[in-house]
């Protein structure tokens, strides 16, 4: 896949999946724009010194003005990949309104605002573009979201939003899709579930490959898809 000269925003780009995606994009020739909040994560981000990576500190992705400013600075925009989000696992009895709203802000609102800004930026060009969101397995299989209802509801919102937006902007040659991962093989997940079968979990590089295709010029027809990336888990 050839991303030569193409500008791509990657939210959550300093995380485990983001690092894999940015690395693959750089190999494909892209110019990468990576907003972040966590300074410690950015400090150990292995691509931070690459001349084709621009880091944007302190960008709160649920803040409308901050997101608008980020996308104003990125031109011309080809693709926007939205990895940033959060996870919460609590039984309903312990889940308050603040927990629900926190998951909606972190997962759905951030995807909505970034997608909206990306559509505006891409429409300033004549080349079309791509948007990729991240849903989750419980968004496609809600019963698997028992014990994490706030997270499941927010990710289901991401999936529905993705399909609706894809239909709205297809006429502008903007193809919008999402991936729905199961538990990915990351150091944090291994630490949280030390007795799990790690070999069954999809690797971040494998999930990155799917995202890279959906965001690429080679993807000419796929839109409105919520692509399961479960591996063998």
Domains of the chain: 7-229 (3.40.50.720)
Which of 36, 56, 71, 151 is catalytic? The answer is 151
Place 146 in a pLDDT band, splitting at 50, 70 and 90. very high
Burial readout 184-221 (b: 16 or more C-beta within 10 A, e: otherwise): bbbeebeeeeeeeeeeebbbbeebbebbbbbbbbebee
List, in sequence order, every beta strand (DSSP E) within the chain: 7-11, 31-36, 53-57, 77-82, 129-134, 174-181, 226-229
pLDDT of 195 higher than 90: no
Strand partners, 177: 132
Place 188 in a pLDDT band, splitting at 50, 70 and 90. confident
Q: Is 147 helix (H, G, I), strand (E, B) or coil?
A: coil
pLDDT of 126 higher than 90: no
Across the chain, mean pLDDT equals 96
Task: Give the Cα separation of 177 and 162 in Å (integer).
Answer: 6
Tell me, yes or no, if 36 is annotated catalytic: no
Task: Give the Cα separation of 220 and 144 in Å (integer).
Answer: 32
Q: Is 92 helix (H, G, I), strand (E, B) or coil?
A: helix
Containing H/E element for 209? helix 204-214
């Amino acid at each position: 896949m050839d991303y030569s000269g193409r500008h791509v925003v990657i939210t959550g780009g300093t995380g485990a999946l983001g690092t894999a995606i940015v690395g693959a994009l750089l190999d494909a020739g892209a110019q990468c724009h990576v907003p972040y909040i966590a300074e410690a994560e950015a400090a150990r981000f292995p691509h931070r010194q690459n001349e084709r990576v621009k880091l944007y500190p302190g960008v709160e992705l649920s803040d409308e003005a901050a997101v608008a400013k980020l996308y104003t600075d990125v031109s011309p925009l080809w693709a926007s990949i939205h990895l940033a989000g959060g996870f919460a696992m609590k039984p309903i009895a312990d889940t308050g309104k603040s927990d629900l709203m926190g998951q909606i802000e972190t997962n759905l609102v951030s995807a909505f605002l970034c997608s909206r800004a990306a559509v505006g930026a891409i429409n300033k060009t004549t080349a079309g573009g791509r948007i990729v969101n991240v849903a989750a397995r419980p968004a496609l299989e809600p019963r698997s979201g028992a014990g994490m209802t706030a997270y499941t509801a927010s990710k289901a919102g991401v999936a529905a939003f993705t399909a609706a937006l894809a239909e709205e902007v297809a006429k502008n040659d903007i193809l919008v899709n999402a991936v729905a991962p199961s538990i990915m093989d990351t150091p944090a997940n291994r630490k949280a579930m030390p007795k799990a079968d790690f070999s069954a979990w999809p690797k971040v590089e494998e999930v990155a490959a799917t995202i890279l295709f959906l965001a690429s010029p080679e993807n000419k027809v796929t839109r409105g898809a919520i692509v399961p990336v479960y591996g063998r888990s």
